[in-house]
Structure 1
Amino acid sequence: MSAEQRMSKAESLARVGIAYVVAFGAGGAWMAWGPETDHLWLDGLIADLIATAVVFAASRMHRNSSFYDAYWSVLPPLLMLAWWIESGTPADDTRTWLVAVVVLVWAVRLTGNWIYAFPGLHHEDWRYPLLRDKAGKAEAAVDLMAIHVFPTLQVFAGMLPVYVVLTRASEDVGWLDYVALVVGLGAVVLEYAADVQMYRFADTRQPGQAMDSGLWSWSRHPNYFGEFSFWFSLGLFGLAANPDDWWWVFVGALGMYAMFQGASIPMMEQRSLERRPSYADVIARVPRFFPRPPRKKAAA
């Protein structure tokens, strides 16, 4: 039995936490004392990649790429705070606080969900070994780029509307900001409800049974829809801050949508079909992503 397999959940969380403290310390040191690029967004990206490199090193040391999983939700509020401080945006700026509330509520909810579901470092997301095994001798490069760097770039792109709010705002707070607030907080509530429903189902499901009740009867992936909606809300904030940036502030949200549709959902659905043949009936009745009422079950 390996050291990771013998490790308790508390010790596993402590190790992940220490790695993150070192990672964000390294990224913060770059922001504070590293050479400036004259572009605050680029300074943030470099710091983000430095922190990712530290987490990658911890993943390799522990032979578990799930070391990276919580980075997705822990990084955004810290990146926003760094940009807020460096940009000199007033501490009482209303729009900035609206965005901060949405980002912080989302981050706390998603990180809390990860902590709740994380069994320890004896467990690794099932997708990661598949990716590494397919890569053969290039598994280290795939681990770095596909499992660590690519998600970091995805999240960074999703956060660029926040950069617009902090550095390029040309409009006063208006109705669109409050639409963005409602969409963002609604997305967090949706993700929370979907996760709770899935946990309850997992506790009682029969072998081969597929989830098709509650929110999961309106969308096969309501958690992914909620996640996309959160990033879309940040795009709305960016649009409200500077309408001239309309042509690119949703690039991050669209990138999330493409990742869910092109990678995450196909992998999840293939696995579900292999493990639960009844999932084919769910696919026939329940929408893939955007929620709508399900089709009726075919008559026996």
Structure 2
Amino acid sequence: MALPTTINTLEDCADWSKTVEPFLPQLYAFPSKLVDAVTDRDNLLNLYINTNPLISGFAISIILGAAFLVAAEINRNYSQVDRFWSLLPTFYIAHFDVWARLSGIPSQRLDALLLWSTIWSARLTFNYWRKGGYGIGHEDYRWEVIRRAIPKWAFHIFNWTFISFYQSALLYSIAAPAYIILLASRIEPEITSADIAYLSIELGLILIEYIADQQQWVYQSAKKQYQNSAKVPSGFQQAELDRGFITSGLWGRSRHPNFAAEQSIWFFLYQWSCYASKTLYSWAGVGPSLLILLFQGSTWFTEYITAGKYPEYRDYQRDVGMFVPLGFSSYKGPGVKVPKIIRTSELAKKLEQNKKRK
């Protein structure tokens, strides 16, 4: 039995006790069955189809976590998960889509998920590539900072727990709401107008993320050119390049508009599953919630490092929200005063007071 047989309503599709708990024993038995089936293609396919897709997907994330751990320790490079960050959520959504097709379950709604997720992956992978993320030996600078700050044994524990396994499981959990949509597709197989609305929202968030990353790329490229040639590139002023960080465009209203869009993308996938199952909340919200918490911590750490490099960053932090804009106006910079608006009545009152004094 790969799917629950006690589902009668859409609300049942999000019920942990009916859709997840009964299949946990499959997780414990999966390793031995995988070893038995790995040499036989037919048996491997049967194992895949006859295993609950939520369970098999989680098992894959654990196997990948072990691979990331071994690769990191052998190469002494701890950005192994980073290289797959833009690919794995789409891989897992594709897993649910393929499993549905092999099992004869309508997949139109999962196809819609896979559409925007593929676009998300392509865009994020390209952005990571052009920044040199796939270069030999490239590693996120934050891992080096942490490595210097804590004992060597503590960092190895950190790699075993957080970097390799936790992050691998997290990338699966943010895609797990697709499981609820898979179950709901057995009851409501056709794409609805709400599905189209959610698809449009996801594509819109990807566009925002693209614009933010492109603005950052243009600025950093100009700054690098300026530092190498001492000439200010066209379209920029020396002061903004000397500042060291971008404060224009979307970055004038949010310190991390790309991160804000990224968190929203996976939160809205969870909301999509809530709509599909006609529930206000479900266990599938754990993944997006953990992702948001991760972004809180990693963004704070990133800004801690940035504020130590650029003196003006403290002013920027004070005037611009981390993710959500604090107001409608863009960042003005320190020492830039907004002209005070004097009402006509106030001006007349001051003139009257001056006359009386005379």
Q: For the superposition of Structure 1 and Structure 2, which TM-score range results when normalised by the shorter chain? A: 0.7 to 0.9
Cα shift readout 1:69-110 (whole Å, capped 9, x = no counterpart) = 121121122222222233446586321121111111111111
State the AA in 2 paired with 1:130: V
Contact 1:56 1:68 in 2 (8 A): no
Contact 1:64 1:121 in 2 (8 A): no
Contact 2:96 2:110 in 1 (8 A): no
Q: Which residue of 2 aligns with 1:67?
A: 80
Larger radius of gyration: 2
Q: Which residue of 2 aligns with 1:236?
A: 271
Gaps of 5+ in 1: 1-25
Corresponding residue to 2:55 among 42, 50, 62? 42
Question: TM-score, normalising length from structure 1?
Answer: 0.81
Contact 2:177 2:284 in 1 (8 A): yes
Matched, 1:200 2:234: no
Matched, 1:126 2:151: no
Corresponding residue to 1:219 among 254, 268, 272? 254
Corresponding residue to 1:153 among 141, 152, 169? 169
Distance in 1 between residues matched to 2:163 and 2:151, nearest whole Å: 12
Corresponding residue to 1:286 among 309, 316, 320? 320
User: Per the alignment, in what secondary structure is the counterpart of residue 246 of structure 1?
Assistant: coil
Contact 1:128 1:147 in 2 (8 A): no
Matched, 1:180 2:228: no
The Cα RMSD (Å) is 2.8
User: Per the alignment, in what secondary structure is the counterpart of residue 70 of structure 1?
Assistant: helix
Identity of aligned residues (%): 25
Give the drift of 1:296.
4.9
Distance in 2 between residues matched to 1:104 and 1:34, nearest whole Å: 26
Cα shift readout 1:250-278 (whole Å, capped 9, x = no counterpart) = 332222221111x1111111111100011
Give the drift of 1:32.
4.3
Change (3 A) 1:282 1:130: same
State the AA in 2 paired with 1:49: I
Contact 2:86 2:124 in 1 (8 A): yes
Give the drift of 1:215.
0.7
Distance in 1 between residues matched to 2:213 and 2:123, nearest whole Å: 11
Q: Which residue of 2 aligns with 1:16?
A: none
Contact 1:132 1:139 in 2 (8 A): yes
Gaps of 5+ in 2: 1-34, 224-240, 338-358
Contact 2:81 2:168 in 1 (8 A): no
Size of the alignment, in residue pairs?
273
Contact 2:64 2:168 in 1 (8 A): no
Matched, 1:166 2:179: no
Contact 2:263 2:288 in 1 (8 A): yes
User: Per the alignment, in what secondary structure is the counterpart of residue 191 of structure 2?
Assistant: coil
Corresponding residue to 1:107 among 116, 121, 129? 121
Q: Which residue of 2 aligns with 1:267?
A: 301
Corresponding residue to 1:52 among 65, 68, 73? 65
Contact 1:31 1:43 in 2 (8 A): no
Change (3 A) 1:280 1:45: same
State the AA in 2 paired with 1:224: F
State the AA in 1 paired with 2:317: I
Question: TM-score, normalising length from structure 2?
Answer: 0.69
Change (3 A) 1:37 1:97: closer
Q: Larger helix proportion, structure 1 or 2?
A: 1
Distance in 2 between residues matched to 1:259 and 1:137, nearest whole Å: 23
Distance in 2 between residues matched to 1:167 and 1:283, nearest whole Å: 44
Distance in 2 between residues matched to 1:251 and 1:104, nearest whole Å: 23
State the AA in 2 paired with 1:103: S
State the AA in 2 paired with 1:159: A
Distance in 2 between residues matched to 1:81 and 1:165, nearest whole Å: 13
Matched, 1:210 2:228: no
Distance in 1 between residues matched to 2:47 and 2:108, nearest whole Å: 31
Aligned pairs for 1:8-47 within 5 A: 32=45, 38-47=51-60
Cα shift readout 1:97-130 (whole Å, capped 9, x = no counterpart) = 2111111111111111111112623331111123
Contact 1:77 1:103 in 2 (8 A): yes
Distance in 1 between residues matched to 2:44 and 2:270, nearest whole Å: 25
